[in-house]
Structure 1
Amino acid sequence: MEGGRILFLTVAFATHAVVGVALARGFTGVGPRTGAWLGIVFGLLPDADFLFPADWGWPFVHRGLTHSPLFALTVVAGVYAVAVGTAGRRGRRYAGVRRTRATALAAAVAIGSHLLIDSLSPMGIQWLFPIRTAWSPGLDVHGVIATTLLWSVSLAILARRTDDLDGVSEWARDDDSARHPSK
């Protein structure tokens, strides 16, 4: 694989992870650690199709099965079922239900963000899977401008809706005062 392709994929993967984390943390009731893990894992999950052997063919190709709303709904239902089972074993009623819903919602917004971003790209996604058809407006969602915009909006969500970025500003202040003790 050539260097340009590796750089493109690295930035695309990082973008899907950052957007997933921002949405999971910014719009659900999950905690910082849980939101980060759910955002990263489910923000990247549709690209698990890169791990399929090439000779498997359709629908195990990039933007096949894993890039469909049917796949996303199945995954979110599975997350909800696992979360309900975990909450039930711990004997938690009300708090467990809230946490279960928040966990499933965080997984849903993270995986949904990936599908939404990729659906806008020229290749599109499989909206009607298992019917093999894709539609897209053909936007350059993984280009420099769109990537910068996605990262900026994600960081703004984290800054506005969570306290996740407070640690970064504290670190910056501590580092600055270490260099300039007179402050």
Structure 2
Amino acid sequence: MAVERVLFLTIAVLTHGIVGYALVRAFTDVNPTGGFFLGILPDVDFLFPAAWGAPFIHRGITHTALFLIAIVTVASLWRSRKRLELASGLAVGSHLVIDSWSPMGVSWLFPLGIGVSGDLPVHGPTGTLVLWALSIGLLVWRGQRPLSTVADSR
């Protein structure tokens, strides 16, 4: 794999992690590090062997509403005082929404084959800068209000 492709994929995956981190930190009382990892979770499909084929390809089963629902359901079963299902939904959902804006899109209604795609270079230089800036803005905004404000707003 060319160095440029590896760099592109690394930045794209980090962007999903940063957005997930910022959303979880801003809107939940869950450790935002979990938001980072949940934000990149749909890209676990990069680790699937090519021989598995569809739907175990990039932007296959892990980039669907079915996957999002499964993750949120598992998180809601976790016995905790924290809102893990909200954190999971925000982080994984943000990944799917961001990828929906890209030309490749996301098959939201798998297995029906109904997807959403845009024509925005969300993982290009401008898209990445916008997503990082929005995430930093959320972190700054969140840093200016006590966590109890977030918890009390539920």
Displacement over 6 Å in runs of 4+: none
Alignment partner of 1:17 is 2:17: yes
Alignment partner of 1:134 is 2:115: yes
Deviation of 1:40 after TM superposition, in Å, equals 1.4
Cα separation, 2, equivalents of 1:132 and 1:55: 21
- On the 8 A contact 1:80/1:103 being kept in 2, the answer is yes
Alignment partner of 1:57 is 2:53: yes
Q: How do 1:84-103 residues align onto structure 2 when only pairs under 5 Å count?
A: 84=79, 87=80, 96=81, 99=82, 102-103=83-84
Q: Of 65, 70, 77, which aligns to 2:73?
A: 77
Cα separation, 2, equivalents of 1:124 and 1:111: 15
Q: Which residue of 2 is the match for residue 150 of structure 1?
A: 131
Gapped regions of structure 1 (runs ≥ 5): 88-95, 164-183
Give the TM-score of the pair, scaled to structure 1.
0.76
What do the CA deviations read for 1:80-133 (whole angstroms, capped 9, x no partner)? 102x2xx4xxxxxxxx2xx1xx22211110000000000100000011101234
Q: Which residue of 1 is the match for residue 141 of structure 2?
A: 160
Identity, in percent, stands at 48
Q: Which amino acid aligns with 2:104?
A: M
Q: Which residue of 2 is the match for residue 91 of structure 1?
A: none
Q: Of 44, 47, 50, which aligns to 1:48?
A: 44
Alignment RMSD: 1.2
- On the 8 A contact 1:68/1:129 being kept in 2, the answer is yes
Q: Which residue of 2 is the match for residue 4 of structure 1?
A: 4
User: Quick check: which one's helix share is greater?
Assistant: 1
Deviation of 1:66 after TM superposition, in Å, equals 0.1
- On the 8 A contact 1:21/1:39 being kept in 2, the answer is yes
Cα separation, 1, equivalents of 2:129 and 2:3: 21
Q: Which residue of 1 is the match for residue 148 of structure 2?
A: none
Deviation of 1:79 after TM superposition, in Å, equals 1.1
Q: Which amino acid aligns with 1:51?
A: L
Q: Which residue of 2 is the match for residue 113 of structure 1?
A: 94
Gapped regions of structure 2 (runs ≥ 5): 145-154
Cα separation, 2, equivalents of 1:69 and 1:103: 18
Q: Which amino acid aligns with 1:115?
A: L
- On the 8 A contact 1:39/1:110 being kept in 2, the answer is yes
Cα separation, 1, equivalents of 2:69 and 2:45: 17
For these two proteins, the number of residue pairs brought into alignment is 144
User: Quick check: which one's strand share is greater?
Assistant: 2
